[in-house]
Amino acid sequence: MMIESKALGSETVRSINVVFCMVIFMSWVLAATAFVSYDSKAILINGRRRLLISGSIHYPRSTPEMWPELIEKAKYGGLDVIDTYVFWNGHEPSQGQYNFQGRYDIVRFIKLVHQAGLYVTLRIGPYVCAEWNLGGFPVWLKNVPGIGFRTDNGPFKWEMQRFTHKIVDLMKAEGLFEPQGGPIILAQIENEYELVEYEIGQPGVTYTKWAAGMAVGTHAEVPWIMCKQTDAPDPIINTCNGFYCENFIPNKYYKPKMWTELWGGWLQKFGGPTPYRLAEDMAFAVTKFIQNNGTYFNYYMYHGGTNFGRTAGGPFISTSYDYDAPIDEYGLTREPKYTHLRNLHNAIKQSEEALVSNNPMIASLGKNQQAYIFKSKSGVCAAFLSNYDQKYSVTVRFGNGRYDLPPWSISILPDCKTETFNTAKINANGVRLRMVPYSWGFSWESYDEWVATASDKGSFLVDGLREQVRVTWDTTDYLWYMTDITINEDEGFLKTGKLPYLSVASAGHALQVFVNGQSVGNAYGSYETPKLTFGGRVNLKAGVNKLALLSSTVGLPNIGLHFDTWNAGVLGPITLEGVNDGKWDLSQWKWSHKKGLEGESLGVFSFKGSSSVSWAGGSSLAIKRPLTWYKTNFETPGGNEPLALDMISMGKGEVWINGQSIGRHWAANKASGGGCGKCTYIGYYNENKCLSGCEEPSQRWYHVPRSWLKSNGNLLVVFEEWGGDPRGISLVKRTV
């Protein structure tokens, strides 16, 4: 091919040869000692050089009944590897008490992946971030004496090591690592730690070295990775996370260039619009990475799924973790993304032998056009032809052929002749999935949660205000703060009628204020600013007035520094302005605290608990009343389409099906602001580029897993904090 010889001088060829010999030597050294090894151009599995295509599916974000089909779809979509984090707080909900059942049956999940003939990348963390409650840390860790999270701290390192060993030992016992004949080819320790290391300095540097040594010391016998960790010590591979990674270079020449998180969408926040990323743009990002010597990439997420129960982190991460992934929250393929990427994967696989052999030769095809040509020793050839121009399509000449390249696109020629794929030419149908109402007009009954009082069982009185999570230990979203405000007859406002102004500052995340049993309003923070202040005039009478504040958390933070000291709840100041003294500071008064809701302690969301209280129906049904529980029964719809609840008529709270929580609902929290204009695949992507759902509820539909249903007599329970009309709730089918 003419272009090749023109593009490369003899010096360049010589240096490529030297590097190639070193690569071969390193790969021989590594391959001799392990079944899974690597060099700069490939991951080697039992000596076979691979370019691996991976996708994240987090096992607790779907049900075990969904797993086989998700894995099948991932395989058909062209993946070689399924990547998952390990969710410490799901596996060890209280210290030393382990849970590997149901959605946390990680062994079953990995075995299913194995049966499908795919590999696994196990990202143990055990800090995982992942928009998961407290980044995966069990809340009880905060109570370990002397603990400091993610730093050179003895108690923390001891717990982290204990859990890491627990997982590695479990995998070994089940024979799940590749050298044992299992599917796990790679393991990850920590997650994007360099950002923290940069902030905290030396203790962070020491901790990184310790974490690396500790991981290798588990003798998992597969290569370990650290993502976003430039100083990852050998033999750990440092990897890239981002929207693009083509310019990433590993910290040693003999390490493979790996992309552990290719963000193919972005997280959904309560209060935010829905981010999406176009298939052409994702394919372009992948192809650029591959032509720049990428050896492994992982879609984050390939199936995002659902943050069931109270597993969402944030705070303010929604219950849906759909992520605009190729397989949607409900397990259906999202088109044209799924098929376009599948076609890309086929083209990459056809080119694999050439890609893993040698560095490419690069030739110019025009001002903004290039060719990357890969050749194996045996002469197999693959070429990538790119057009970086953001406006114009061009026709380029390459070899004996002519190729049409749309703007901002790359064509793959697995035999250096035939274009089998172009990143901007979609050869798939844009099938639209819709939510089709199936049943509504449920027969609802209501049960009033009462506004807590200081004499309630479980209340305790202290001077001042307590931090929320240190009272609840996150066993519930809710904490009541209660105090008495005594108003003397001579207070001026009683005569003028100018009501005093109450101001309540909270560390987050949402707050509802009650005076003498009546709701006077609410306030809530946001993902960006979890703190909030409630302000409003309150109707106080002469004598004793009962002030009750219901503070709720909306997922504990999953990112940042100082997990050990992060606060939630009403910490003050709390002031009352417009009294004879001018202003009272209530923050240091005596405050009663009460953890959780009455309905929670009675378990009214379960069959047993719901029958222990009396419900009101018919004309006595509570409508738009804050703090109300609702229940109804429904039959399981026929067919096998995924199901969801349309919660459009409701405010904020939580939903249970047959006693299991499907997550927090908050349809009343709408996506603020604009930014939902048209979006094109051309040009660089970021999480604010392509948005939908502005001014609409951030999450309207809530996944009801079919496997949680009985054939009939299903119990649906909703807790509503703000006030809603349950008659507007419907069950919908997700249909093509």
Binder of ligand GAL out of 171, 267, 405, 731 (CB under 6 A): 267
Could you say whether residue 152 binds ligand GAL (CB under 6 A)?
A: no
Residues 6+ apart with CB under 8 A from 730: 437, 438, 439, 440, 645, 646
Stretch that binds ligand GAL, among 124-132, 178-186, 208-216, 659-667 (CB under 6 A): 124-132
The minimum distance between CB 225 and ligand GAL, in angstroms, equals 12
Whether 143 contacts 134, CB under 8 Å: no
Rounded Cα–Cα distance for residues 152 and 196 (Å): 12
Which CB atom, from 137 or from 630, has the smaller least distance to ligand GAL? 137
Which CB atom, from 131 or from 352, has the smaller least distance to ligand GAL? 131
The minimum distance between CB 558 and ligand GAL, in angstroms, equals 7
Rounded Cα–Cα distance for residues 396 and 701 (Å): 47
The minimum distance between CB 130 and ligand GAL, in angstroms, equals 4
Which CB atom, from 128 or from 226, has the smaller least distance to ligand GAL? 128
Stretch that binds ligand GAL, among 129-137, 149-157, 349-357, 642-650 (CB under 6 A): 129-137
| Selection from 461, 463, 458, 557 nearest residue 507 by Cα | 557
Whether 411 contacts 403, CB under 8 Å: yes
Q: Which amino acid is at 84?
A: T
The minimum distance between CB 249 and ligand GAL, in angstroms, equals 19
Stretch that binds ligand GAL, among 127-135, 178-186, 304-312, 611-619 (CB under 6 A): 127-135
192: annotated active-site residue = yes
Which CB atom, from 277 or from 342, has the smaller least distance to ligand GAL? 277
Q: Which amino acid is at 103?
A: R
Q: Give the x-and-dash track for 236-255 against ligand GAL (CB under 6 A).
A: -----x--------------
Residue 677 burial by CB count (10 A; 0-12/13-18/19+): exposed, middle or buried?
Answer: exposed
Q: Please give the structure tokens belonging to residue 62.
A: 């779907």
Could you say whether residue 130 binds ligand GAL (CB under 6 A)?
A: yes
Stretch that binds ligand GAL, among 125-133, 175-183, 524-532, 711-719 (CB under 6 A): 125-133
Query: Catalytic pick from 178, 192, 197, 221?
Result: 192
Cβ-proximal residue to ligand GAL, closest one? 129
∠ CA 412-415-417 to the nearest 5 degrees? 75
The minimum distance between CB 261 and ligand GAL, in angstroms, equals 6
Binder of ligand GAL out of 39, 92, 178, 192 (CB under 6 A): 192
Rounded Cα–Cα distance for residues 559 and 315 (Å): 10
Rounded Cα–Cα distance for residues 651 and 730 (Å): 15
The minimum distance between CB 111 and ligand GAL, in angstroms, equals 24
Sign of the dihedral defined by the CA atoms of residues 525, 530, 535, 539, in that order: positive
Binder of ligand GAL out of 23, 52, 57, 129 (CB under 6 A): 129
The minimum distance between CB 195 and ligand GAL, in angstroms, equals 9
Rounded Cα–Cα distance for residues 510 and 651 (Å): 13
Start-end of H helices in 423-563? 469-472, 492-496
Binder of ligand GAL out of 39, 80, 83, 131 (CB under 6 A): 131
The minimum distance between CB 334 and ligand GAL, in angstroms, equals 17
Stretch that binds ligand GAL, among 7-15, 126-134, 330-338, 395-403 (CB under 6 A): 126-134
Which CB atom, from 300 or from 629, has the smaller least distance to ligand GAL? 300
| # chain residues binding ligand GAL, by CB under 6 A | 9
Residue 506 burial by CB count (10 A; 0-12/13-18/19+): exposed, middle or buried?
Answer: buried
Whether 735 contacts 641, CB under 8 Å: yes
| Selection from 529, 554, 573 nearest residue 469 by Cα | 554
Rounded Cα–Cα distance for residues 448 and 451 (Å): 9
Could you say whether residue 191 binds ligand GAL (CB under 6 A)?
A: yes
Q: Give the x-and-dash track for 562-601 against ligand GAL (CB under 6 A).
A: ----------------------------------------
The minimum distance between CB 69 and ligand GAL, in angstroms, equals 24
Which phi and psi (to 5°) does residue 699 adopt?
-140, 115
Which CB atom, from 39 or from 261, has the smaller least distance to ligand GAL? 261
Whether 591 contacts 462, CB under 8 Å: yes
| Buried residues in 214-239 as b, exposed as e (16+ CB within 10 A) | ebbebebbbbbbbbbbebbbebbbbb
| Selection from 642, 694, 690 nearest residue 672 by Cα | 694
**Residue 453 CB neighbour total at 10 angstroms:** 14
Stretch that binds ligand GAL, among 12-20, 122-130, 147-155, 458-466 (CB under 6 A): 122-130
Residue with tokens 């298939």: 279
Binder of ligand GAL out of 83, 194, 261, 419 (CB under 6 A): 261
The minimum distance between CB 691 and ligand GAL, in angstroms, equals 16
CA dihedral 88, 93, 95, 100 (to 10 degrees): -70
Which CB atom, from 131 or from 280, has the smaller least distance to ligand GAL? 131
Sign of the dihedral defined by the CA atoms of residues 659, 662, 664, 666, in that order: negative
Query: Catalytic pick from 131, 221, 261, 280?
Result: 261
Stretch that binds ligand GAL, among 123-131, 200-208, 572-580, 593-601 (CB under 6 A): 123-131
What 8-state DSSP symbol labels residue 103?
G
Could you say whether residue 121 binds ligand GAL (CB under 6 A)?
A: no
Which phi and psi (to 5°) does residue 465 adopt?
-115, 140
> Site residues (CB under 6 A) for ligand GAL?
128-131, 191-192, 241, 261, 267
Catalytic residues: 192, 261
